[in-house]
């Protein structure tokens, strides 16, 4: 437990604890079912709260909510339909609004902020640190941000300005300012006395930072070293100077890689003048990695962003449109390719039944290749030297798969339609299309990477477009030449 | 920096450091290019090392490798083709074998272990903690494991047995045994004196554990509390008793969820007799989350496991087969559905060109639904109460998309083939197939979850099978009724 302010929210055992939160969610859902059945318009929600029966339930619920960690309340809010979500949100003590807004997902945060007035938002933001306000900033109205800014101290304003000046995928966006710093010419005794002035140290303080008079970073002093060494030792003699340092403009995923490789709990962030400007902690990195991997999965299915499961139909539909529109265009194109061979199909209608096999398998195989390549790119395993080697390997796999699966498909076609040439055309088309798939499956993510774009976004739609249209063209083209 | 034994491996700045490791990789690749061009058989590798020119290069390389963190060496090994990988592996000091084997991916580990003899493997395992040996165990030959077991102390044997007795996805598999424990009736002074006996504390020691005479868990004492409190205070008065506790049989992903929600650095693992048996630390959780999310991405593309990019063609092909075979079966089935309508297609060949549009869009839309549902299941947001509501929402989105995109596709068909009935059939088929997609896109992951299976594995192949065959049937069926 690093956050000593929350330990009262943890029950004995995590399984039991999570179950209890879930049970609360269900029980609450029940309470709300009653409210919902009365079908009160949204404006009367407050009136409802005042009815006697509900008052009792709600008071009990409120007590429960008070004892929960903000992350648990965030979880409950995310899992509730909008009506019930807003009712729970009303029950949460307003002094906890800030910490909960930080925990919920972007889309749910939007739905909560939409119900709050300027004063409530200002108060919520006022409960937060500068780096947390920066996270909230894109969702807050301009005038609220102005109010918040005015209410901050000069140091906090500088922190907020710093945190907001870095792009979303940079180390600066992950950084917080809760670092403790000491000078190098003092003893551990002095450091300990200084630390004892804190009621508690900031979360994830596994090390304190050593700086000079001008805030120039000198090194780090792990808390563990304070504990295992004699009090009269000097910071200078114990501090570690050759440790990982982050720069605010660095890519966040490089920082995440460093946390993973070197098992860090926190790392200092140093600006170009070598001054200590902040720190990054492992919990933020954990959230970052989780969010990144989720957006990879969402992007693969063509979802622009994370979807609040209770968002409106219209909002959800819009989130899925770009992808469907793109797919419709490529499908139209593939359809025209087939249209060009209508005479052939008319003469040999079996082709219509067999052609989806040719394109389907190649599309799957190409997407396997792309998945491997995108992963290897992300891990930095692809160099100029080995790219050619990889291409040869992928081609070999496709050729091999083409002979095996194409052969089976060819036999399938032969047994169904009793035509040897048809079987041969089928096998050849599958072999060729699998090879096309391997080439584009490698070339597209590599090209996107070279152009500085994320290879995980949109690769699969392009690849499927090519294996579809290409497959129809190869199969129907071969059939036109050899069967007609 | 928590691991004080490695800080000499970190250069000033993470970007520069990662670049340097990459540069080393490329330079090494160059050195090896020379070796490779001479096309020496593998047995002569050692002879080659002895030639003068290479000796110089290799000595330099060896020095570089010695200064690197084991995770960096693991990264280099993973990015090298097998020949060069084994050469670098030979250059690594044998006393570092253990820590590097722990860091590399499963498939690369296999390739390294295959070159080591019994004695080397025993020595490598001997360098590791019991929990690390347990991770390595599945890849080690039986006789090596027997040797290793014999060489351990009684306590370590017990730890190894414990670590190996839990399933791969349980908390027990993530647990280590490097926890420090104290009694509750001592002062911080005594604790500090005890801690000073360590040269350094184990990595990620953000808290020590309080147990009684029988090892029964009493609470935790955050290191930070030792630092900020007066030495004469008693452990009993400071320790936190109501904190997250893990059980060894709990699901690992529940523990990961707890680490994420409550920003933990370490957590105690308690057995059913309330005895402290181990601890889980955030770096292991980070690795677990990364591995899980990667295997989600791999599974979506039908890759059974992570692939060593330099694995043999045969091995890689096998990794991709199950999926392709499954797809071929569903494609054969879809092909037979089309085959049933050959008469219709013969009379109206435009149907052949249009049918891929109907199935493609519905497949994509259904996979979007499934992605949302799988994610919501993983986050525990789907309850019995809201599942029906979600189904209605997904149906509404599909109906909406069906009218919009189906309408566009219908117009496309009308303008191309100048047939109003064809346009109407096209629109209706797309609308119906999108609705089928929404139903199976929700039903399949929910059913798999109910059956206790991972909804992320295989959902998409089943869904595509249904939207494909279903789409062909609906479109060609409607065409047979209304166009012929």
Tens of pLDDT, residue by residue over B454-466, are 887 778 888 999 9
Using an 8 Å CB-CB cutoff, list chain B residues near A342.
349-350, 352-353
pLDDT value of residue A218: 94
Asked if the Cβ–Cβ distance from A289 to B294 is below 8 Å, we say no
Enumerate the H helices of A229-347 as residue ranges: 235-238, 252-262, 282-300, 313-339, 342-347
pLDDT value of residue B51: 55
Asked if the Cβ–Cβ distance from A1 to B240 is below 8 Å, we say yes
Q: Greater confidence, B212 or B385?
A: B212
**Residue among B312, B288, B256, B248 at smallest CA distance from B114:** B312
Q: Mean pLDDT across the stretch B304-314?
A: 79
B379-414 tens-digit pLDDT: 777 877 678 888 899 999 999 999 999 999 999 999
Burial of residue B53 (CB within 10 Å: 0-12, 13-18, 19+) is exposed
CA distance B229 to chain A (A): 6
Using an 8 Å CB-CB cutoff, list chain B residues near A397.
313, 316-317, 320
How far is the first Cα of chain B from the last one, in angstroms, to the nearest whole number? 75
Supply B187's token pair: 């002062």
Q: Which of A296, A364, A416 sits opposite B297 (nearest CB)?
A: A296
**Residue among A261, A22, A14 at smallest CA distance from B257:** A14
Kindly report the number of other CB atoms within 10 A of residue B108's CB atom.
Answer: 24
Q: Which residue of A has its CA nearest to B326?
A: A361
pLDDT value of residue A266: 95
Supply B339's token pair: 């085959």
One-character DSSP codes across A327-392: HHHHHHHHHHHHHTTHHHHHH-THHHHHHHHHHHHHHHHHHHHHHHHHHHHHTT---HHHHHHHHH
Kindly report the number of other CB atoms within 10 A of residue A415's CB atom.
Answer: 9
What's the Cα-to-Cα distance from B14 to each of A235, A251, A255, A366, rounded to whole Å? 24, 10, 7, 35
Q: Which of B11, B81, B261 sits opposite A69 (nearest CB)?
A: B261
Count of alpha carbons within 13 angstroms of residue B57, beta-carbon side = 19
8-state DSSP, A153: -
Name which of A9-23, B6-20, B229-243 the model is least confident about. B6-20
C-alpha–C-alpha distance, residues B265 and B260, integer Å: 10
pLDDT value of residue A315: 85
C-alpha–C-alpha distance, residues B253 and B259, integer Å: 10
Q: Greater confidence, B152 or A295?
A: B152
Asked if the Cβ–Cβ distance from A405 to B324 is below 8 Å, we say yes
8-state DSSP, A219: E
State whether residue A52 is helix, strand or coil.
helix
Q: Which of A243, A297, A397 sits opposite B371 (nearest CB)?
A: A297
Task: Indicate the helix (H) or strand (E) that contains A98.
Answer: helix A97-103
CA distance B40 to chain A (A): 18
Q: Which of A25, A338, A355 sits opposite B383 (nearest CB)?
A: A25
Domains of chain A: 7-171 (1.25.60.10), 181-300 (3.10.580.10), 313-482 (1.10.357.20)
Asked if the Cβ–Cβ distance from B379 to A201 is below 8 Å, we say no
Supply A185's token pair: 């010419």
Q: Which residue of A has its CA nearest to B311?
A: A393
Q: Which residue of B has its CA nearest to A324?
A: B361
Q: Which residue of B has its CA nearest to A413?
A: B332
Tokens 């999108």 label which residue?
Answer: B434
- Three state DSSP letters for chain B: CCCCCCHHHCCCCHHHHHHHHHHHHHHHHHHHHHHHHCCCCHHHHHHHHHCHHHHHHHHHHHHHHHCCCHHHHHHHHHCCCHHHHHHHHHHCCHHHHHHHHHHCCHHHHHHHHCCCCHHHHHHHHHCCCHHHHHHHHHHCCHHHHHHHHHHCCHHHHHHHHHHHCCCCCEHHHHCECCCCEECCCCEHHHHHHHHHCCCCCCCCCCEEEEECCCCEEEEEEEHHHHHHCCCCCEHHHHCECCCCCECCCCEHHHHHHHHHHHCCCEEEEECCCCEEEEEEEHHHHHHHHHHHHHHHHHHHCCCCCCCCCCCCHHHHHHHHHHHHHHHHHHHHHHHHHHHCCHHHHHHCCHHHHHHHHHHHHHHHHHHHHHHHHHHHHHCCCCCHHHHHHHHHHHHHHHHHHHHHHHHHHHHHHHHHHCCHHHHHHHHHHHHHHHHHHHHHHHHHHHHHHHCCCCCCCCHHHHHHHHHHHHHHHHHHHHHHHHCC
pLDDT value of residue B261: 86
* Contact partners, residue A60, CB within 8 Å, separation at least 6: none
Q: Which residue of B has its CA nearest to A325?
A: B405
Number of helices (H), then strands (E), in chain A: 23, 5
In Å, how far from its chain's centre is CA B220? 31
Using an 8 Å CB-CB cutoff, list chain A residues near B400.
313-314, 317
Interface TM-score (ipTM) > 0.90: no
What's the Cα-to-Cα distance from A168 to each of A250, A259, A288, B280, rounded to whole Å? 11, 18, 11, 31
C-alpha–C-alpha distance, residues A409 and A426, integer Å: 7
pLDDT value of residue A182: 95
Reading chain A (484 residues) residue by residue, the pLDDT tens digits are: 334 334 333 334 555 656 666 666 555 444 444 444 334 444 444 444 445 556 667 777 788 888 888 888 888 888 777 877 888 898 888 889 999 999 998 889 988 999 999 999 999 998 899 999 998 888 899 899 999 999 899 999 999 998 888 988 899 999 999 999 999 999 999 999 999 888 888 999 999 999 999 999 999 999 999 988 989 999 999 999 888 889 999 889 888 988 988 899 999 999 999 999 999 999 999 999 988 888 888 887 778 777 777 788 888 888 888 889 999 999 999 999 999 999 999 999 999 999 999 999 999 999 999 988 988 888 777 877 678 888 899 999 999 999 999 999 999 999 999 999 999 999 999 999 999 999 999 999 999 988 888 887 778 888 999 999 999 999 999 999 998 8
Query: Could you tell me how many CB contacts below 8 A there are between chain A and chain B?
Result: 453
Instruction: State how beta strands B266-270 and B276-281 pair.
Output: antiparallel
Q: Please give the share of chain B, as a percent, with pLDDT higher than 70.
A: 88
Count of alpha carbons within 13 angstroms of residue B145, beta-carbon side = 15
**Residue among B266, B307, B385, B262 at smallest CA distance from B105:** B307
Mean pLDDT computed over every residue of chain B: 85
**Sheet with A207-211, edge to edge strand ranges:** A181-182, A207-211, A217-222
Using an 8 Å CB-CB cutoff, list chain B residues near A227.
192, 195-196, 201, 223, 226-227
Asked if the Cβ–Cβ distance from B316 to A393 is below 8 Å, we say yes
Interface test with B, best of A295, A356, A367 (most B CBs within 10 A): A356
Q: Tell me: pLDDT of B10 over 50.
A: no
Q: Predicted confidence band at B33 (pLDDT cuts at 50, 70, 90)?
A: very low
State whether residue A454 is helix, strand or coil.
coil
C-alpha–C-alpha distance, residues B172 and B169, integer Å: 8
What's the Cα-to-Cα distance from B194 to each of A139, A229, A449, B190, rounded to whole Å? 50, 11, 53, 6
Task: Indicate the helix (H) or strand (E) that contains A269.
Answer: strand A266-270
Asked if the Cβ–Cβ distance from A328 to B3 is below 8 Å, we say no
Using an 8 Å CB-CB cutoff, list chain B residues near A199.
228
Count of alpha carbons within 13 angstroms of residue A369, beta-carbon side = 34
Q: Which of B1, B25, B353 sits opposite A338 (nearest CB)?
A: B353
C-alpha–C-alpha distance, residues A281 and A206, integer Å: 10
8-state DSSP, A170: B
B58-78 tens-digit pLDDT: 777 788 888 888 888 888 888
pLDDT value of residue A318: 85
Q: Which residue of A has its CA nearest to B192?
A: A227
Q: Predicted confidence band at B1 (pLDDT cuts at 50, 70, 90)?
A: very low
DSSP bridge partners of A246:
A269
pLDDT value of residue A53: 54
Using an 8 Å CB-CB cutoff, list chain A residues near B2.
206-207, 222, 224, 263-265
Interface test with A, best of B70, B335, B399 (most A CBs within 10 A): B335
Q: Predicted confidence band at B356 (pLDDT cuts at 50, 70, 90)?
A: very high
8-state DSSP, A216: B
Q: Which residue of A has its CA nearest to B262?
A: A71
Q: Which residue of A has its CA nearest to B245?
A: A13
Task: Indicate the helix (H) or strand (E) that contains A221.
Answer: strand A217-222
pLDDT value of residue B15: 59
């Amino acid at each position: 437990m690093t956050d000593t302010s929350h330990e009262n929210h943890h029950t004995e055992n995590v399984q039991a604890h999570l179950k209890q939160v879930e049970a609360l969610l269900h029980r609450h859902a029940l309470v709300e079912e009653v409210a919902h059945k009365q079908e009160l318009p949204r404006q009367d929600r407050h009136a409802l709260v005042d009815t006697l029966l509900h008052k009792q339930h709600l008071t009990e619920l409120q007590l429960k909510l008070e004892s929960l960690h903000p992350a648990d309340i965030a979880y409950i809010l995310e899992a509730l339909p909008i009506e019930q979500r807003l009712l729970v949100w009303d029950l949460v003590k307003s002094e906890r609004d800030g910490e909960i807004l930080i925990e919920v997902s972007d889309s749910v945060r939007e739905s909560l902020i939409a119900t709050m007035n300027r004063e409530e938002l200002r108060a919520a933001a006022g409960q937060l640190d500068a780096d947390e306000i920066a996270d909230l900033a894109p969702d807050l109205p301009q005038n609220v941000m102005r109010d918040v800014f005015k209410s901050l101290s000069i140091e906090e304003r500088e922190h907020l300005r710093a945190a907001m000046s870095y792009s979303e995928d940079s180390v600066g966006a992950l950084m917080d300012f809760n670092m403790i710093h000491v000078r190098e010419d003092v003893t551990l005794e002095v450091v300990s006395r200084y630390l004892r002035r804190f009621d508690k140290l900031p979360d994830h303080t596994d090390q304190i930072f050593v700086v000079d008079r001008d805030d120039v970073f000198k090194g780090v002093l792990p808390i563990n070293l304070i504990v295992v060494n004699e009090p009269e030792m000097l910071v200078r003699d114990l501090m570690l100077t050759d440790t990982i340092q982050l720069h605010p403009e660095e890519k966040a995923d490089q920082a995440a890689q460093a946390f993973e490789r070197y098992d860090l709990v926190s790392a200092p962030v140093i600006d170009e003048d070598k001054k200590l400007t902040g720190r990054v902690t492992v919990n933020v990195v954990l959230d970052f990695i989780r969010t990144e991997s989720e957006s990879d999965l969402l992007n693969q299915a063509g979802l622009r962003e994370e979807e609040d499961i209770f968002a409106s139909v219209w909002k959800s539909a819009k989130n899925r449109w770009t992808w469907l529109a793109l797919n419709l265009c490529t499908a139209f194109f593939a359809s025209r390719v087939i249209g060009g061979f209508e005479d052939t199909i008319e003469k040999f209608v079996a082709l219509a039944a067999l052609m989806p096999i040719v394109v389907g398998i190649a599309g799957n195989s190409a997407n396997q290749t792309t998945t491997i390549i995108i992963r290897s790119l992300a891990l930095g395993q692809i160099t100029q030297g080995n790219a050619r080697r990889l291409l040869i390997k992928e081609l070999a796999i496709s050729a091999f798969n083409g002979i095996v699966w194409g052969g089976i498909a060819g036999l399938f076609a032969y047994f169904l339609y009793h035509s040897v040439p048809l079987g041969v055309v089928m096998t050849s088309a599958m072999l060729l299309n699998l090879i096309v798939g391997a080439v584009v499956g490698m070339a597209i993510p590599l090209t996107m990477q070279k152009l500085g774009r994320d290879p995980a976004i949109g690769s699969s739609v392009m690849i499927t477009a090519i294996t579809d249209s290409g497959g129809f063209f190869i199969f129907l083209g071969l059939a036109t030449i050899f069967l007609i």
